[in-house]
Amino acid sequence: MAASTHPHTEARRRTYADITALLGAFCFFLSALEYMVPKPLPFMRLGIANLPILLAADLLPLPWYLALALVKVFGMSVISGSLFSYVALFSLAGTLTAALAMRLARKAFGRLISAVGVSILGAVLSNAVQMAIARLIVFGDAVRLVAPPFLAAGLATGALLGVFAEAFAGKSAWYARATRELHG
Amino acid sequence: MRLRPLDIVIALAAAGAIAFAAVSAYGPGSGPVNAVLKGRGGEWIYPLSADRDVRVAGPLGDTVVEIRGKSVRIVASPCPNKTCIAAGAIERPGQWLACLPNQVFVSIEGRRADGGVDASAY
């Protein structure tokens, strides 16, 4: 006997899928933009592909949210050509750390924190985890030389991304509608 | 847009951690200034005073490091994006070059030439 699904639940599931797909497509697009920007130093990234994840921290349930983070890792790795290299491990660890930290901060601190703080937290923790992995498996103690500019770049780009996300969430009719649909 | 209390706390905590990491990494060194090359097979230290080209083996092939005129740069690399080559030359202690795909790291370590006190008068 086939299990029946409540129409309301099915509609909700479809909305989650739609939002995840749309934000996932944005991850791909922003990854491509990010790839086109010349990097002054190895490791340095703007992190703009994290914007959809930052916006989704308030919108999606955890499984869909993690699926979006994995889509971002996949997109970034495909576009940068690192999917089948160990470099993808850095993207995976950094993105999952940032996604979980941002989600936790949003849920735990509510209105005490804005997208700016959430974004800085995600960016700096993501970079710190990538430095830890680089220390463990590639460059050893020399990573101490890389860490300060890399973390400082995370602080700066995280703050800028947070300011943009805050402005976007305040002005976007799509974001307001999605929030209404999902959270009543 | 209005910042919330935890935004400022998180930004200050991150800035503090970065400052600590910077002081730990770039504090006064010791000994002569050398180029330190790390690759898959080990670590090599060369004085900046002698010009030479060094091939460092990595998983993708050889990265060629040029030490010339007391500066160091990567002149050839089998990695896809060549960010390590585009980074240019380094010449001061604490500066570094890295090729993540080929697992090669180049840094300059030792005492800063312009650091320390040469003389004092009362």
Instruction: Look at the domain A7-183 and name its fold.
Output: Arp2/3 complex 21 kDa subunit ARPC3 (1.10.1760)
Please state the domain extents for chain A. 7-183
pLDDT digits (tens, 9 = 90+) for A21-71: 999 999 999 999 998 887 766 667 788 999 999 999 989 999 999 999 999
State the architecture of B34-109 in CATH terms.
Answer: Sandwich (2.60)
* Interface check A168 vs B, CB under 8 A: no
Under DSSP, the state recorded for A45 is -
pTM for this prediction: 0.84
pLDDT 10s digits, A57-115? 989 999 999 999 999 999 999 998 888 888 899 999 999 999 999 999 999 998 899 99
Q: Taking CB atoms and an 8 Å limit, are A148 and B25 in contact across chains?
A: yes
Q: What is the DSSP secondary structure assignment for residue B121, as one 8-state letter?
A: -
Both tokens of residue A22? 């749309």
**Does residue B86 carry a pLDDT above 50?**
yes
Whether B1 sits inside 8 A of A146 (CB atoms) is no
Q: How far apart are CA A170 and CA A68, in angstroms?
A: 22
How does pLDDT run across B41-75, given as a tens digit for each residue? Answer: 889 999 998 999 999 999 999 999 999 999 999 99
Give the residue among B82, B78, B109 at the shortest CA–CA distance from B94.
Answer: B109
pLDDT band at A1 (very low <50, low <70, confident <90, very high): very low
> What is the distance between the alpha carbons of residues A57 and A66, in angstroms, rounded to a whole number?
10
Contact B107, B95 (CB under 8 A): yes
Min Cα separation B119/chain A (Å): 30
Q: H or E segment at B84?
A: helix B83-86
Look up the ipTM and state it: 0.86
Tell me phi and psi for residue B4, to 5 degrees. -100, 165
Mutation for B interface: A145, A150, A164, A166, most B CBs within 10 A: A145
Residue B17 forms contact with A (CB below 8 Å)? yes
Residue with tokens 């989650």: A16
- Measured between CB atoms, does B116 come within 8 Å of chain A? no
Put simply, the answer to whether A42 touches B94 (Cβ < 8 Å) is no
Q: How many CA atoms lie within 13 A of B101 on its CB side?
A: 20
